[in-house]
Structure 1
């Protein structure tokens, strides 16, 4: 298959054969160059990092995209680092308009994709699936764009009240919220099926902004570099040269932690990546045993960290590609075996590359989340959401004495009030604007888990 440029990938989402796109070559960044970025503001740093992957754009245009993406819609401190104790620090990724880390990539795509469309005189119909925060982040990024429509699938009854209100209350005509009878994996499967139908995809100019879009992965890589730079600001030159960061990453679809993996491949000094799951621990099981065994709808649990209620992580395909020596033929064979048998044993490959990839895994339960929320508040006064609590739980469990662990925040606690109240006895303060959100009218299209029904709906409502 011929390589595509980054601009094409932004619009296509998936590869022509329905697989996920990976960089043909991972660009390498020397530590001296990373050090030269230390004084940059976040939009400027994003240009440096994303520009390593988006090479077919004029740098001045990329600068404009990043300035707009990380502008007034974020708080002044776009990615603050907040110390919890001497070993654990939160990386604040929820300062954007929907109060979730997905804004960090989605606001970038909300500028980058219309830029490419305008240059080419094209339109795009974005088809996505969400277990919680991706949907609202995408819809807020693309709302009212004249050349874009968003069709966002979400599992009925599987998101928090706040998450539903953020998505379903948007009145914009180009936003279509489709509530599917099933779980997130059912939504994601339909997205992949329709993207794999090249005739339908072309006829309706389908694209995707889920974490399966490499543009989102690229944007997320930037905040790993930012977090390392901020964590080492107080060190002298010798200390910076020796510092390796350990990141604890709440993980559902494997996109966020794959961005950390890619950052390490690019040259960021990463000691380890701690993969944190909830009770839907397919990924934890894979990195612990080497056996990947996705679960069906009936065996995917509804938990108090619902954005991670995923049992078939799409982005794992990218990691397995690296694990199999970047051999597309071996990957295709592996995925065919997975489809035929329901499981895939890659324990030998994981053991062989353990020292290179350095991903270790842990899981968290509801009680663990409550305990982590309580501990963080008692220790630092901070209030965290249940997904971030999964990351804190695994960080405390797996961190070695010499490690400084950067836990990636996933969302503001106001989005998950019930769990915060259960842990602390009170909810995180809610501003007037957020309180009003819960009372706004909501509009959705309820739909069976039926790809033909979805095809018909998109055909009728796509922007042309």
Structure 2
């Protein structure tokens, strides 16, 4: 399996999985995609059904990932997955259980039982193991530079802490996360983790990460890598749980289901798009946004129009307060047949004019019929109503992001099972849960007292040069074992 940039579209010079694992963005600023998607057969899915039932989620993950990773041996890949997905980390031997909501068409795919109570753990735990494997094999090190709107940061830090070949610099918009999310990240006291509060919104943080990645010399010198969903490994790990959820809900080959996915950066639902492109029987991919409805607007109008920081609203589903959805570029690359020049043109328009418009193209007309996308958005009152209704009628408690998806999913029920992908446990959003139900959410024992811990963070303006200086200071704190030919000037 070889990988190429969305802005190249050519298999010429394509790279292997382990080569792109440590890179994040491609050198031309694009995102990596496989040259082509592997295709699933009915027999393969039925074989995987037996694997999931008899051997478990880790074994299924290894089988799915083998289709995308051929420069790690199958046996080693199985061991990596077994270390990533354990019942101890995820609190359930199924890792991703799926439960039905009453007797209706809707199901919940439980993705948030991991170490940080967010679906990001599903990819981050695997990414941590993959990084450690490849860095050890190369006798090298990596400076992870990431941006988070709420959950990616803590999931990455909990997956990567204590790994001496990794340093993490995580950017977050100052004052935009819930108190629990802030405590979860800033409460970590690890010499190789630095939390940065940026004066701005998530898009400013993401722009800083991309600006650093665009400086090829700096990126190479300081071994800059990524854990955001710009990293292909994040996305392919998420494909696995689409397969697992489909297997848990269906009873035989060919049965279709739909997935409702709350999204801000288009990563979670992009993994669903990839699974569907591989042949997983998915009827609809139901995209749910909050008041920051850039993606919903795009799917309805063909106009992808980013918002300014001032126009990006602070909502009660804060992890989706995003107006520049990085992974849209991967979908656009597929939509336009991997035409790298067209992708460069469209995202060049975003850089200069803040938008592009494909409403008059034949490709836009195919987004629903060919790719299965439908969409909708919710407001605060909708989320409160969805949370309150599930609690009253079924004694099921969901977080406000999952509530976005439940609200939109109800508009698209059509006789097929609808799997709503849960994104976080309610404990992370106590104020909203109390407003919706009149009760505070239960606090899992592992999080008791978390909001009273000391905080560790630094404040930074939205300035790339300031960030570079910070990265240099932190990268110099890499362990002495790496002060060798693999380190820039022995200063690692």
Q: 1:81 aligns with which of 93, 98, 108?
A: 98
- The answer to whether the 8 A contact 1:84-1:379 is kept is no
- The answer to whether the 8 A contact 1:254-1:314 is kept is yes
Match status 1:46 vs 2:61? yes
Post-superposition offset of 1:353: 4.4
Q: Which residue of 2 aligns with 1:178?
A: 196
- The answer to whether the 8 A contact 2:390-2:396 is kept is yes
Match status 1:448 vs 2:466? no
Alignment of 1:56-455 (within 5 A): 56-71=71-86, 72-76=88-92, 77-85=94-102, 86-232=104-250, 235=251, 240-347=252-359, 348=361, 349-400=363-414, 402-455=415-468
Post-superposition offset of 1:156: 0.3
Distance 1:457 1:434 in 2: 30
- The answer to whether the 8 A contact 1:362-1:398 is kept is no
Give the SS at the match of 1:154.
strand
Distance 1:228 1:255 in 2: 19
- The answer to whether the 8 A contact 2:367-2:373 is kept is no
Q: TM-score, normalised by structure 2?
A: 0.92
Give the SS at the match of 2:442.
coil
Distance 1:352 1:417 in 2: 41
Distance 1:352 1:407 in 2: 24
Q: TM-score, normalised by structure 1?
A: 0.97
Per-residue displacement from partner, 1:106-157 (whole Å, max 9, x unpaired)? 0000101110000011100000000000000000000011110000000000
Structure 1 consecutive aligned stretches of length 4 or more whose deviation exceeds 4 Å: none
Distance 1:374 1:397 in 2: 18
Q: Which runs of 5+ in 2 are unaligned?
A: 1-11, 479-491
Per-residue displacement from partner, 1:421-462 (whole Å, max 9, x unpaired)? 000000111134312111110110100111100000101111
Give the SS at the match of 2:452.
coil
Which deviates more from structure 2 when the two are superposed, residues 117-126 or residues 424-433? 424-433
User: What RMSD, in angstroms, separates the aligned Cα atoms of the two structures?
Assistant: 1.0
- The answer to whether the 8 A contact 2:312-2:323 is kept is yes
Per-residue displacement from partner, 1:204-251 (whole Å, max 9, x unpaired)? 00000101100000000000000000001xx3xxxx234111000001
Q: Which residue of 2 aligns with 1:21?
A: 32
Give the SS at the match of 1:253.
coil
Give the SS at the match of 1:73.
helix
* Closer, same or farther: CA 173–97 of 1 in aligned 2, 3 Å: same
Post-superposition offset of 1:8: 1.3
Give the SS at the match of 2:234.
helix
Per-residue displacement from partner, 1:138-188 (whole Å, max 9, x unpaired)? 000000111100000000000011111110000110001000000000000
Distance 1:211 1:434 in 2: 26
Per-residue displacement from partner, 1:256-284 (whole Å, max 9, x unpaired)? 00000000011100001000000000000
Q: Work out the number of aligned pairs and report it.
A: 457
- The answer to whether the 8 A contact 1:42-1:226 is kept is yes
Distance 1:334 1:432 in 2: 48
Post-superposition offset of 1:16: 1.1
Per-residue displacement from partner, 1:55-105 (whole Å, max 9, x unpaired)? 211011100100000012111231111111311100000010000000000
Distance 1:428 1:115 in 2: 38
Distance 1:229 1:78 in 2: 14
